[in-house]
Structures are given as structure tokens and as C-alpha cells.
Amino acid sequence: MDIRRRVHFVGIGGIGMSSLAQYYLAKGWRVSGSDLVESEMLVKLKKAGAEIFIGHKAVNLLERVDRVIFSAAIKEDNPELEQARILESEIISYAQALGELTRQYITIAVSGAHGKSTTTALLSLMLIEAGLDPTVIIGTRLKEFGGPSPRRSGFGHAGGGNFRFGQSRYLIIEADEYNKSFLNFFPTIAVITNIDKEHLDTYGSLDGVIKNFAKYFKNVGSVGALIVNAKDENTKKTLEIWGGDTKVVKFGGPHFAKASRGDSPPWRIKIPGDFNQLNAEAAWQAAKLLGVGKLVAEKAISNYCGSWRRMEELAWKRPSFAKASAGKQKFFSDYAHHPTEIKVTIKALKESFPKKKLVVVFQPHQLERLNNLFNDFIFAFDGADKLILMPVYQVTGREYSGQKTAKDLYEAIKKEGVYYLKNFAQIVKLTREFPNSVVVFMGAGDIDNGVRKFFKSKLL
């Protein structure tokens, strides 16, 4: 009989939940979990030793487990949660479980509306290069975390990993502000990339976002540090409300801006965009506080080639398509789903490929975000040469009806070169009609599932 402690994850396939599940596996727990549909992540967890169930059912928990962890998307009446109550198992949210870890480690948490994953990745690679051997929980997949050893590089994911198990006292996490999750975290160092009108279904307004970031700032102890974007006006307002005495380190100030305007950017990073220079600077300021040298940081940054769904370059799966597109078209997958992210990603790709036309395929994520930021979305695609809009990806448990849709966005933008299509195969066919172009598939919903049917990653 296996007497190890057992933990069950309700919604185990999510990027954060799957990473935390790997942590429990690495610590020797019996791990089980459920999700609604099969996925590549579930296959990898199964290979790593987790017991996986498809569908949320009470029979998935026939015996008492020590702990049940549920994702933010799970409702109170979920049958597995109801069964866990009957069995008197401990029940906590993903944010609470991760929050526990932040108290057990020297934690560096990266928050902000945009740039969290890239900044977390760069910071992680800096600490690894410096020999600080951190444990990392991140909201993307890195090829560097795809090695064979669960002690050092996740669980041997051929397509890259979203977890690293280290032996030191350092923990690096991507701290999401959705559903006020980050208020559960107590980092020693908190990196804030920027603050924007995001997750308004949680906060109601930008003012609500700022007030809750100010609360989060108070979770950083007096011996810790806040690393903040000197150029971000909303961060400045948050600091004024916060009024604490924790050390504040600012990045992206006048000296950095002057260097960025020169011929040689401050950081030799392979991924494009001025915003990625800022992400690299934010990561460096955190690493420097932990004693990492500049040369070590520079080496880590120069070796970084990007991550899953962050301007991730793609290649055709079908050789005939690849041959037809050789030297003419380039394809990318990107997670951008907020107007600010869309604009800076478009700008970065246009600067990287100035002689090519830019085709953007966009799937809006969540009706409420589309409605709250509708006017911003109208102008977010101005830099694109062609735009193909897809129907909104509706997030279970976070939606309401009777408001503007992607078709309304299409009508508001409607001009030559703007299309509205529902069938992904037709969308891919249309993109092939634009020779010598860069095509980027954007969105945080299931658009990437369609992408992977036609393309493979050149990175992972």
C-alpha cells in the first residue's frame, strides 16, 4: 500500500496548476488530478507519474486525499469539491497553495499586466547561470526546462517545460493578479513590470487594479524589495497609495531610455521589441539584489531564444506547404490578448521585418475584456497590414451575454484588408494568399490548438 501523502488537483491541465503539480511530484507526493479535455500537458503529467482523470466527477475521489487544490476557474458546486468536503479533505485554491510556498522560500515574484512570463524566464535563467539553483513556477514553457532530470529541468518535456525543481532556498514564481491571486503571496522581492486596465471583471476599474496592487506591495517585508517600472504612470500612483518603507528599486529610467535610443541597446536579447529590453532590465535588477554579476546576467540574456506563445516562431508541419512558403512567409504564435500587448507586439514584428507585410490573426479572449476595452481594441491593430478576426473565446464561468462581440469589432474596424472568419482551416488558407508576409496568430484562448494542427514550433 502506498502510504505517501496524496494531493488532487481540480483543473490540473492549466499552465499554473500543472506546474504546481510537478512541484508536488518532485517532493514525493502521490498526485492525481482532473480536467475537462485531454491535452499535451496531461499526457506529460501522466508520464511523470500523476494519475489523470478526464472530466470532473465525484468518483475521481473515492478515498480521502490529504489535500485538494482547485484552480480559479472551478466553481463551488464542482462535484469533486463536494466529494472532498464529504471526505473531509483539506481544500485550498491554487493561489493559497502557491502562497504557502512563498513563505517557505526566499521568493522572487513577477507581477504586472504585461511581460510577466518573459521577465520570469530571464530572471530564472540568470539565477541558474549564477549557480543559485532556483525552483521555478512559470506561466509559459521554456526549452531550457525540457531536460531529462526532474531535479533540474522539469520532467523531460520534449516541447519545453513550465517547471524547474531546484535544491536552493530560492523560488521564482509568476504571480498573476487575476482573481486577486497575488494577494496570497508574500515574496522577498516583488518585480512589477507594469500596471494596466486588465482583469476588470475582478477589479471593476483601473482604480480597483491600482488599489489592489498597493495591497500586494504591503506583502513584501521591510527587509525585501519592490522592483518597479520607472516609466509606468499607474505604478507611480500605486506607490503613492502604498506609502510603505520597503526598499524600492526602479528600472527603465532616463539613463536606460537614453541607452535604448542608441545604436547598441542595453541588452543583447534575441527576441525583438523595446518592451523586452525593459523585461530584461527588470529581471537584472532582481538578480543583482541576489548577488548575480552583470556578466552572468548578460550571458543568460544573450542565450535566451524566447518561450512558448511569446512571439514563438512556427514552421509548417506539411512539407509541401513549407516548400511553397520558403523564403516568403514567416509565422508566429503569440499570447497577446490586451490592446497594449497587441500594439507593442505588432510594433516589434514590423521593426524586425520592415520589408514584409504583417498579417494578424486575432481571437479575442473573454467577452467582458472585449467590452470593457472595446474602443482600445478598435485602434490596437493600426500597425497591421491585414487583420483576420475570429469569434471570441468565451471563458467558462467568467462570461455574460447581450454585449459586443468579435463581429461588432469587425464592423467597427471594417476597412480593406480586414476579415471575419470562424473556420480556422479557412483562415490558414487565407493567410497563404499574402506572399512575403509575416503572419502572427494572437490570443489567449484556444487559437493555439488550431495553430498546432498546421504548424510546429521552431523554438521548442
Q: Which residues of 185-206 are buried (b: 16+ CB within 10 A; e: fewer)?
A: bbbbbbbbbbbbbbbbbbbeee
Residue with cell 497575488: 182
Q: How many of the other CB atoms lie within 10 Å of CB of 96?
A: 14
CATH topology of domain 312-457: Protein-Tyrosine Phosphatase; Chain A (3.90.190)
**105-303 under CATH 3.30.565.10, yes or no:** no
- Whole-angstrom CA distances from 250 to 103, 232, 253, 305, 388 are 25, 10, 7, 26, 39
- The one-letter amino acid code at 2 reads D
Write out the three cell numbers for 248.
524600492
Classify residue 96 as left (phi > 0), alpha (psi -120 to 50) or beta.
alpha
Q: DSSP for 258-301, please give it.
A: HHHTSSS-SS--SS--HHHHHHHHHHHHHHHHTT--HHHHHHHH
Q: Which of 224, 203, 201 is nearest to 286 (CA)?
A: 224
SS3 content of the chain, % helix, strand, coil (to 5): 40, 20, 40
What letter does residue 395 receive in the DSSP assignment?
P
Cβ density class 11-33: b for 16+ within 10 Å, e for less:
bbbbbbbbbbbbbbbbeebbbbb
Can you tell me the distance from the alpha carbon of 249 to that of 187, in angstroms, rounded to the nearest whole number? 15
Q: How far apart are CA 245 and CA 194, in angstroms?
A: 20
Contact 361, 430 (CB under 8 A): no
- Could you tell me the pTM of the whole model? 0.89
| CATH class as words, domain 6-93 | alpha beta
Q: Which amino acid is at 111?
A: S
Tell which residue, 248, 252, 247, has the closest CA to residue 265.
252
Domain ranges for the chain:
6-93, 105-303, 312-457
pLDDT along the chain (460 residues), means of 10: 84 95 96 92 94 96 94 93 96 97 98 95 97 96 68 50 95 94 97 94 94 97 94 96 94 68 78 93 97 97 90 86 70 94 95 95 93 94 96 77 86 94 95 94 93 90
Integer distance in angstroms from the first to the last C-alpha of the chain? Answer: 39
